[in-house]
């Protein structure tokens, strides 16, 4: 019997950025791999100054995940510089296979990639696009191009694909998708856009739910939740305050074109639940960091401005928490609202109804894929009164919404957990016992 360990390399996901959405994607992917192949090894290839190891909580306990760091730098002499790695891989293609393998194996980063059975890219969930600019797309595409130059099987994991506005972006994305062994989309818009670029190769395009649905929650130490009222009899409403939206986007001038004033909407939400519904509200950060778009300063600002009007029923989650711990806290809420999509996924994946305050198309696509598109309130289309009316309606229906989610989510989670058994990925089940049978390819 073949007992070779399955080795999976994950691109475009990190466990140290402070962005719990990206960390949730990485953790969910690791959980899916281990569910399919319990003895598998998963490692990250990502930009960073130093190698590292991280702990991920899976269904059978903690797992260690290594970061193989590469550099995006003008220092071309660095052996792990992405430009140098790409050049070396391209030169290797000119050599006979035996010489090629010997030359490439001399580089530690390339040696690790060559040892992987499959290389899977998730591009931060929504960065395989030029919506954030062509440089951002190149940044996430270069490691994928490296995998292809090394003749390794590349899989694009479920993510938002596109939009691609420029000709260069369309060429790069089209080349990567046509050359990959499998491409997954997590929403219908992405499915259609990717299909147009794939042309006669669209048969390799498959729908799958977001990888974060597979991530396990993990309870933080009880003392770290002191001051957060859990189970005191009042409804507990979780509210993720996005530092990115509070500052007006990266350009600080309402770059996402919101019709509703986000700061005013947050104020009205807090006062609505505390003063009209008698609930407690806990402000929950999901992107950590005290500068730029970090959520903790935004949560603290809202708390300072409104706590005097809330009769002790406004609270803020303080301190650093990992993605598993944040998911646990969100799962203790009776109702949740957020403008960070993966904060909302953390809620609905545990049966907690969540109002997804959208600033891009990705929210609708992901929520529609689980039959919960009505949970999305698009702030680009709704004014303050319309947004609050939708929130009021959804809160009134929270019990039925929760019941519906609890029926739907087990099937969604099961599909994500079995993704790496899909035959096109080429991973042999003889490498270890798998938890379930392969799922078929599905269209959205």
User: Does the pLDDT value for residue 444 go beyond 80?
Assistant: no
Instruction: Give the three-class secondary structure for 293.
Output: coil
pTM, to two decimals: 0.91
pLDDT for 430 equals 53
Residue 429 has pLDDT above 90, yes or no: no
Tokens of 437: 């049978």
CATH number of 7-214+413-431: 3.40.50.2000
pLDDT of residue 197: 93
* Angle subtended by helix axes 20-36 and 341-348, to nearest 10: 50
Question: 255 pLDDT exceeds 90?
Answer: no
| C-alpha R_g of the chain | 22
E strand residue ranges, 151-258: 154-159, 182-185, 205-207, 236-239
Q: How far, CA to CA in Å, does 424 sit from each of 109, 118, 203, 233, 440?
A: 26, 11, 11, 50, 11
Dump pLDDT digits (tens) for 304-337.
Answer: 999 999 999 999 999 989 999 999 999 999 999 9
Average pLDDT over residues 260-281: 96
- The backbone torsions φ and ψ at residue 166, rounded to the nearest 5 degrees and listed phi first, read -90, 155
Question: What tokens appear for 188 in the block?
Answer: 């219908």
Residue 442: is its pLDDT beyond 50?
no
| pLDDT computed for residue 432 by the predictor | 41
For residue 428, name the pLDDT band (cuts at 50, 70, 90). low
Rounded average pLDDT over 372-394: 96
The reported pLDDT for the residue numbered 439 is 33
Listed by start position, the domains of the chain span 7-214+413-431, 225-408
Instruction: Write the CB contacts of 302 (distance below 8 Å, at least 6 apart in sequence).
Output: 241, 266, 267, 270, 283, 316
Domains 7-214+413-431 and 225-408 alike in fold: yes
CB 204 within 8 A of CB 425: no
pLDDT at 240: 97
Q: Using the CB atoms, write b or e for 204-230: b if 16+ within 10 Å.
A: bbbbbbbbbbbbbbbebeeebbeebee
Indicate the CATH number for domain 225-408.
3.40.50.2000
């Amino acid at each position: 019997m073949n007992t070779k360990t399955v080795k999976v390399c994950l691109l475009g996901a990190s466990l140290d950025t402070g962005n719990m959405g990206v960390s949730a994607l990485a953790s969910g992917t690791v959980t899916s791999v281990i569910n399919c192949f319990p003895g598998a090894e998963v490692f990250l290839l990502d930009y960073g100054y130093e190698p590292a190891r991280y702990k991920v909580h899976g269904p059978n306990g903690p797992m260690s995940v290594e970061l193989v760091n590469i550099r995006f730098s003008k220092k071309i002499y660095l052996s792990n510089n992405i430009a140098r790695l790409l050049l070396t891989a391209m030169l290797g293609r000119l050599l006979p296979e035996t010489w090629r393998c010997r030359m490439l194996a001399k580089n530690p980063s390339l040696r690790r990639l060559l040892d992987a059975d499959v290389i899977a890219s998730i591009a931060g969930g929504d960065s395989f696009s030029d919506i954030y600019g062509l440089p951002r797309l190149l940044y996430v595409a270069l490691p994928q191009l490296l995998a292809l130059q090394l003749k390794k099987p590349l899989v694009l994991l479920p993510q938002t694909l596109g939009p691609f506005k420029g000709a260069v972006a369309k060429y790069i994305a089209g080349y990567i998708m046509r050359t990959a062994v499998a491409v997954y989309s997590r929403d219908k818009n992405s499915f259609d856009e990717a299909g147009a670029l794939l042309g006669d190769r669209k048969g390799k395009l498959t729908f799958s739910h977001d990888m974060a649905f597979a991530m396990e929650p993990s309870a933080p130490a009880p003392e770290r939740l002191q001051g957060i009222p859990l189970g005191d009899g009042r409804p507990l409403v979780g509210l993720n305050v996005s530092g990115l939206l509070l500052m007006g986007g990266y350009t600080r001038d309402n770059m996402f074109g919101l019709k509703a004033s986000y700061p005013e909407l947050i104020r009205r939400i807090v006062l609505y639940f505390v003063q009209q519904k008698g609930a407690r509200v806990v402000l929950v950060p999901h992107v950590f960091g005290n500068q730029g778009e970090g959520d903790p300063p935004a949560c603290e600002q809202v708390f300072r401005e409104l706590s005097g009007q809330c009769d002790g029923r406004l609270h803020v989650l303080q301190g650093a928490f990992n993605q598993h711990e944040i998911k646990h806290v969100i799962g203790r809420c009776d109702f949740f609202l957020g403008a960070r999509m993966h904060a909302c996924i953390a809620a609905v994946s545990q049966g907690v109804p969540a109002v997804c305050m959208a600033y891009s198309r990705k929210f609708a696509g992901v929520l529609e894929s689980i039959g919960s598109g009505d949970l999305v309130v698009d702030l680009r289309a709704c004014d303050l009164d319309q947004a609050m009316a939708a929130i009021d309606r959804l809160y009134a229906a929270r019990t039925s919404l929760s019941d519906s989610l609890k029926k739907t989510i087990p099937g969604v989670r099961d599909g994500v957990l079995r993704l790496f058994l899909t035959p096109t990925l080429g991973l042999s089940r003889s490498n270890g016992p798998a938890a379930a049978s392969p799922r078929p390819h599905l269209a959205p």
